[in-house]
Structure 1
Amino acid sequence: MNRTTLSLIAGATALAAVTGFAALTAPEASGSGAAKAAARLPVQQTRLLCPEPSASDIAETSYTSFTPVAQGTSGSGKAELTAADEESADGSGSSQSGKTGKSGKSKKRSDAPTVTPKEPGRPVTGDSSGAGTPALIGTATGRLAPGWTVQETTEVAAGTGRGLLGTNCTAPDTEFWFVGASTAGSRTDYVHLINPDDSAAVVDIELYGKDGNLKSTTGEGITVKPHSSEPVLLSTLTGAKEGDVTVHVSVRSGRVAATLQALDDKLGGDWLAASTDPAGSVVMPGIPKDATDVRLIVFAPGDADADLKVRLSTPSGEITPAGNETLHVKSGMTTAVDLGDVTRGEAGSLVLTPNDTAVPVVAAVRVVRGKGDKQESAFIPATAPVGTRASVAGNSAKGTTLALSAAGGSATVKVTASAGSEGGTAVTKEYTIKGGTTQNVEAPVPGGLKGTYALTVEPVSGGPVYAARTLQTNTEGVSAFTVQTLPDDRGTVAVPEADQDLSVLLKK
């Protein structure tokens, strides 16, 4: 069986596990014989995996679990996070930690945070300190599954990668593209691989620099044990010192969640989420208005070069960055361009479109804020539109910015601020975003807020909307920040109706 076939099988397995399970129902007889459109039903199970937050002894990490209120859900549900090196809930997995009770099942690790929500619509938080926090495997079922999200935010006061590091915990899959990694001497970049399943996963990691593939044999056939996490230091995969690298993670067997941690000696650090699937046009929303440097990194994974138009979506419309109207990206080579302080005090999103023939690309921007020894960095990957609904947790009354971008026509969206984790009532507002613009909207805050809260974005009408949330805090005099995008939460799954045909039982 070749690698492509294995990937297809693994992809189908991952889809079933991530989007949940739904039963086919036989429709009432209509006599028309016409096929009916598939109904969209809430998923019944969601898996999310959170990477080890930090190797720093002074790291402070918070986790926020949230499920938005959704129609069509009822009954019970459960959502929990367990250490990746514990056994599976039914005791069938292998415990890497060896911490087992008399029953043979793993005990709860004391350094794993306790985050157990009871109902949709209200976030629940948990905390951990230091370098011992393990990677986490999360499972949500029943009414807590549709749209479940977990935010992992870490504050590191000093050292390499100091600042605010944030990531949405990731669903398992079979392929990931990370654009904006580095093997330069000033960077320490890890790819974190987490296997949620009862069998081992086998993973390949390929690196691409400015001149193409960075040959490596150590990146081939990496085994990730069941229910475990495997951090891989990029500089151990190649001797090349490249400032801009594209990382391709592909799974030969099984499935994993992958997230890249980028730590810089001077520019702080953050998590780099995977780019959306390769596409001819891509959007990177929510560049902070006070960015002092914006670096665009693009990669064309196919056999053809890509010629792209570069546009900055601003509150007043799309503009062309001076001197960077177009970008030529050679096939299989990572291309980067420094756009400087391109936003010039206004909210912005970068939009790449084909100059002529559409060639799929993956992309991201590295954003730097501050000057001198007070600089901090974050990454914004190309992302999918909000779609039906998207949520992001871990927001506070101050230090939260929500950016909305309408890359096509004008759009109206509904934004709901959930109840607070420790008290408060939900609030909803609607916003209209003109086509071709990006707006930093004044996001709603729950009434009587106590603790943190979640934001849920739902398009009401118009064209596609792209969204990003920025968290900001002051860490030892540095204005630290992190940015997360809001792609569709995949909280529903299409379930086609099926007619009963008993004649199949008579066929030989």
Structure 2
Amino acid sequence: MKTGPLSLIAAAAALAVTAGVATLTVPDDAADGAGPATAADRIAVERTTLLCPRPADTELGETTYTSFTPAGEDGEGTAELLPAATESEAADEGEQQDDKKDKKDKKGDAPDPVAPLKRAGTPVAATTDEAGAPALVGTAEGAFAPGWSVQQTTLVTAGDGRGLAGARCTAPDSEFWFAGASTIDERRDYVQLTNPDDKAAVVDLELFDKDGPVDSETGDGIQVPARSSVSVLLSTISEEPSINLALHVAARSGRVGAAVHAADEQLGGDWLQPVSEPAPSAVLPGIPGDATSVQLVVHVPGEDDADLAVRLAGPNGSITPAGYESVHAKSGMTTSIDMQKLTKGETGSLILEPEDGSTAPVVAALRVTRGEDSEQEMAFVPAAAPVEERTTASGNRPKDARLSLAAPGKAVEVRVTASPGSEDGEPAEETHTVKPGTTLTVKPPKTSGTKGTFALTVERLSGGPLYASRTLRQEEGGIPMFTIQTLPDDRGMVEVPDAEQDLDVLVD
């Protein structure tokens, strides 16, 4: 046949053209080998997936979603959230695959997207008071993908779990760690698992208490159907009630989003979000100054015990809290410490650092309580990942939002930008310096004509490591309701290594 030689000739010609273009773009000093190797290019991501958990199932709640992408990238883009099926809906769909076309005809058009983004730099908000609102699967593409963030905030005015519950919608993954969950009678903690893909995922859940792994068979092999959400009550996978647990979520196949909703009879409700990956040290930023109780929960997933030195980075520097100088956490077990009156009126960040040569990775989070007696509310602060370049907190209102910026090592210069509101307004920005070993509380920059919710974008300009969180507060019925979200880097830019054409690959 003659097609083989012709194909090889065409392929060689195409490679020669490509090689020629590459040669034309090589810098002069690199052409003769005299210059250093070219660094990898940094380009904006072109697609981002985020998953928002199913809100608490209550008739007394209202949930607001705020979608936002920082301005900066040119070109077209889309960003929207679509409802995931519930477990029962997914089962019904699986039983009726042969009638899929008829079902679509009966249901009508596809569901409308939630808070579809119209342009970068301006947030879009949507609100629902629907009991049992679904989890959401979100996708941003093109110019809307780099740095896309979605905040889900639910206000529950009465009943178990009443309070302000905030969740930063997160990317799917195959593994998550949580600290601070509970299976006691006063708490109802659910883990919400959402599968964004077109194939089913299989997930294992493991709980760890003060004595080690919790015996359970019901946490293994949980099926999460395609593009669906499954809710699991943690007390159903634990034979004995226990407080201050660590939870490990691991996908055997596929990937999921995971978040834990905790509802307490006395302390209200909020979301536990995943901690950063287990590491020998941890930074937990943004403990409110008026916290009446701070509970530290530490789990050691490895084979060695962990010895941790404790520092509190406040507005004026770092101290070693009296009575809480160090933590010894045993391998495979979960340790909790009640740190009463830790902050003493000043916002701070807890810093855990290995001591005595300890290298054991740890999982850590705080349960923070504000208020007194029957007017208390709780929130959680997981160990945070550092902000390498940029991060965004969506869903703010001018009087209700505060940023906590922590610099555990060197000083950091930071730019904070407030976007226009979702209904109207102008942006504003400020530059701040976070002194070494401190936590700086930042109010939103004053904007003009802001209506609706807005976003706060934090950019690390120079200096050492930066950790950040955002607190939302709302007084309701005399209860100081609040929620805290840590702010990891948005990973809007990725490195793409340079590559050169090598025609030797055509030689056998």
Take 1:100 and 1:493, find their aligned partners in 2: how far apart are those partners?
A: 44
- 258 and 478 in structure 1: CA distance in 2 versus 1, 3 angstrom threshold: same
**Paired residues of 1:419 and 1:426 also in contact (CA < 8 A):** yes
**Paired residues of 1:26 and 1:498 also in contact (CA < 8 A):** no
Match of 2:367 in 1: 366
Take 1:209 and 1:203, find their aligned partners in 2: how far apart are those partners?
A: 20
Deviation, 1:99, is 9.8
Q: How does 1:28-427 map onto structure 2 within 5 Å?
A: 28-29=25-26, 30-32=30-32, 35-70=37-72, 73-85=73-85, 107-109=109-111, 114-357=114-357, 358-427=359-428
Deviation, 1:277, is 0.5
3-state secondary structure, aligned to 2:449: strand
Take 2:178 and 2:466, find their aligned partners in 1: how far apart are those partners?
A: 23
Q: Deviations over 1:90-144 (max 9, x none)?
A: xxx97999797757997344xx773111111000000111323100000000000
Deviation, 1:244, is 0.8
Take 1:376 and 1:409, find their aligned partners in 2: how far apart are those partners?
A: 34
3-state secondary structure, aligned to 2:506: helix
Take 1:31 and 1:301, find their aligned partners in 2: how far apart are those partners?
A: 50
Match of 1:496 in 2: 497
- 96 and 436 in structure 1: CA distance in 2 versus 1, 3 angstrom threshold: farther
Deviation, 1:502, is 2.0
Take 1:50 and 1:103, find their aligned partners in 2: how far apart are those partners?
A: 28
For 1:243, give the aligned amino acid.
I
- 95 and 448 in structure 1: CA distance in 2 versus 1, 3 angstrom threshold: farther
Task: Structure 2 unaligned segments of length 5 or more: list them.
Answer: 1-20, 87-92
**Paired residues of 1:100 and 1:106 also in contact (CA < 8 A):** no
Deviation, 1:281, is 1.1
**Paired residues of 2:194 and 2:257 also in contact (CA < 8 A):** yes
Runs of 4+ aligned structure 1 residues displaced above 3 Å come to 32-35, 93-109
- 347 and 94 in structure 1: CA distance in 2 versus 1, 3 angstrom threshold: same
Match of 1:9 in 2: none
Q: Which has the larger radius of gyration?
A: 2
Task: Flag the structure with higher helix content.
Answer: 2
Match of 1:451 in 2: 452
Take 2:246 and 2:226, find their aligned partners in 1: how far apart are those partners?
A: 27
Take 1:198 and 1:502, find their aligned partners in 2: how far apart are those partners?
A: 39
**Paired residues of 1:78 and 1:118 also in contact (CA < 8 A):** yes
- 99 and 273 in structure 1: CA distance in 2 versus 1, 3 angstrom threshold: farther
- 368 and 96 in structure 1: CA distance in 2 versus 1, 3 angstrom threshold: farther
For 1:154, give the aligned amino acid.
T
Q: Deviations over 1:342-389 (max 9, x none)?
A: 101101000000112222111000000000000000000000111110
Match of 2:481 in 1: 480
User: Does 1:466 pair with 2:455?
Assistant: no
**Paired residues of 1:26 and 1:497 also in contact (CA < 8 A):** no
Match of 2:16 in 1: none
**Which region of structure 1 is more displaced relative to structure 2, 498-507 or 164-173?**
498-507
Match of 2:10 in 1: none
Q: Deviations over 1:217-244 (max 9, x none)?
A: 1111111000000111100001111111
Q: Calculate the TM-score normalised by the size of structure 1.
A: 0.90
Aligned pairs, how many? Answer: 474
Deviation, 1:26, is 4.9
Deviation, 1:171, is 0.3
Deviation, 1:432, is 0.6
Task: Structure 1 unaligned segments of length 5 or more: list them.
Answer: 1-24, 87-92
Deviation, 1:465, is 1.1
Take 1:365 and 1:138, find their aligned partners in 2: how far apart are those partners?
A: 29
Once the two structures are aligned, what percentage of the paired residues are identical? 53
**Paired residues of 1:420 and 1:446 also in contact (CA < 8 A):** no
Match of 2:9 in 1: none
Q: Calculate the TM-score normalised by the size of structure 2.
A: 0.90
For 1:497, give the aligned amino acid.
D
Match of 2:8 in 1: none
For 1:46, give the aligned amino acid.
T
3-state secondary structure, aligned to 1:295: strand
Deviation, 1:85, is 1.9
Take 1:295 and 1:95, find their aligned partners in 2: how far apart are those partners?
A: 46
Take 2:185 and 2:355, find their aligned partners in 1: how far apart are those partners?
A: 35
For 1:132, give the aligned amino acid.
G
Take 2:387 and 2:240, find their aligned partners in 1: how far apart are those partners?
A: 38
Deviation, 1:332, is 0.5
3-state secondary structure, aligned to 1:337: strand
RMSD, matched Cα? 2.1
- 282 and 32 in structure 1: CA distance in 2 versus 1, 3 angstrom threshold: farther
